Amino acid sequence: MTAPVLPRSSDERAGEASAADPSGPPIRTRELTKAYGDLVAVDSLDLEVQAGEIFGLLGQNGAGKTTTILMLLGLTEPTFGEARVVGLDPARRPLEVKGRVGYLPDAVGFYGSMTGRENLRYTARLNGIPRDEAARRIDEVLDLVTLSERADTRTDTYSRGMLQRLGIADALVKGPDVLILDEPTTSIDPIGVVEVLDLLRVLAHERGIAILLSSHLLNQVQSTCDRIGIFAAGRLIGTGTVNELATQFGFSLTDLEVTLDVATEQAAAVQAILRGVPGVLDVARDGHAGHEPTWALTTDPEHDVYATTRAVIEALSAYPLVRIGQHRVALESIYRRAVERGVADDGTVIP
């Protein structure tokens, strides 16, 4: 049973405000907690998101993701603990935080009778951006989200994917240091998903924006996010890269995956060669990567994985090698095991 939380005193709040550190990570929380009566929606959250990083929040509905976002935006106050967004306390300085943070909700909305450009001008005015500066920024973000050609048509003619891209442009107009995105690819066609995820990588890795992404689409999170946090019953039960999470929840990373450009009739010979490599315990066909056959190798943890990899390459020198690398554990498997291990039958998180 989670211990009850206590409200912070005014003296504690003043101390927190004076402790703001603009040189720290763009998003940082310490023991951040939100309780609604006896229900603890977010429990002692410690989280950091760095500049230039895409951080994914994973969790079932009711796990605490949305409540966390609301506290980071200053839309609800913590019951205990603290949050800092670009060095500011969102509970005490919400308007300043909103001026530095771009937010894309899961249900983005625009005035349908206005064009995309007109909607962005409206956002710029609300944020006090001078007209000339706003015009320059709007042109830039429309180009960034590939909407320049449709910028002057009404948004009620936009597809869902176009509206999502316009939502990102809307979040970028203010020139934010942080982007917070709630399910940014929901209901978008596959091409639109690729475009949005590619854009997020550019914004983080080339422009240095800190991105916090909440999503339930595990394959997209795995392919896009630099680090991931798994929520269950209001608590963060795992944080790290996919490989770090895999190790944390008991998956082996010593297995190898080998893809060759060989004909189907050569597969049996390849499999026999792989079984004879020192350090390889088992070999199984693992489908195809494109048109090339792939094998999953279980390796002996007592052997150095790099030595085993070199031995595999040498043994297969007569065959065209497409790829060899550590087997990629699916985030779906990690997430399922994390939740199964981390949550008791009554819904509480196991320490």
How distant, in Å, are the alpha carbons of 20, 120, 166 from that of 117? 36, 5, 9
What pLDDT, on a 0 to 100 scale, did the predictor assign at position 7? 38
pLDDT tens for each residue of the chain, 351 residues long: 343 333 343 344 444 444 445 568 999 999 999 999 999 999 999 999 999 999 999 988 888 999 999 999 999 999 999 999 999 999 999 999 999 999 998 878 899 999 999 999 999 999 999 999 999 999 999 999 899 999 999 999 998 888 988 999 999 999 999 999 988 887 778 887 888 889 899 999 999 999 999 988 888 899 899 999 999 889 999 999 998 998 888 887 668 889 999 988 899 999 999 999 999 998 988 765 456 888 988 888 788 888 999 999 999 999 999 999 887 788 998 999 998 876 544 444 444
What pLDDT, on a 0 to 100 scale, did the predictor assign at position 50? 97
What pLDDT, on a 0 to 100 scale, did the predictor assign at position 27? 98
Residue for token pair 């771009």 = 102
CB contact burial 178-209 (16+ within 10 A = b; e otherwise)? bbbbbbbbeebeeebbebbbebbeebbeeeeb
Backbone angles phi, psi at 90, to 5 degrees: -60, -30
Outline where 261-318 has alpha helix (H).
267-275, 305-315
pLDDT tens for residues 65-90?
Answer: 999 999 999 999 999 999 999 999 99
Choices 1.10.10, 3.30.70, 1.10.3470, 1.10.1760: CATH for 256-326: 3.30.70
What pLDDT, on a 0 to 100 scale, did the predictor assign at position 351? 46
Nearest to 145 by CA among 122, 173, 118, 174: 173
What pLDDT, on a 0 to 100 scale, did the predictor assign at position 273? 96
Choices 3.20.20.140, 3.40.50.300, 3.40.50.12780, 3.40.50.150: CATH for 10-248: 3.40.50.300
CATH 3.30.70 domain locations along the chain: 256-326
- CA angle 31-334-310, nearest 5°? 120
Q: 0.85 exceeded by the pTM?
A: no
What pLDDT, on a 0 to 100 scale, did the predictor assign at position 290? 53
Pull the structure tokens for residue 293: 């056959």
Q: Are 69 and 62 in contact (CB under 8 A)?
A: no
Separation CA 139–CA 145 (nearest Å): 10
Separation CA 201–CA 211 (nearest Å): 9
131-144 and 160-172 helices, crossing angle to 10°: 140
Specify the 3-state DSSP secondary structure of 9.
coil
CA dihedral 199→331→51→200, nearest 10 degrees, is: 10
Q: Are 255 and 298 in contact (CB under 8 A)?
A: yes
What pLDDT, on a 0 to 100 scale, did the predictor assign at position 24? 85
Sheet holding 292-299: strands in order across?
280-289, 292-299, 256-260, 321-326
CATH 3.40.50.300 domain locations along the chain: 10-248
What pLDDT, on a 0 to 100 scale, did the predictor assign at position 183? 85
Q: Are 272 and 225 in contact (CB under 8 A)?
A: no
Pull the structure tokens for residue 197: 């995820």
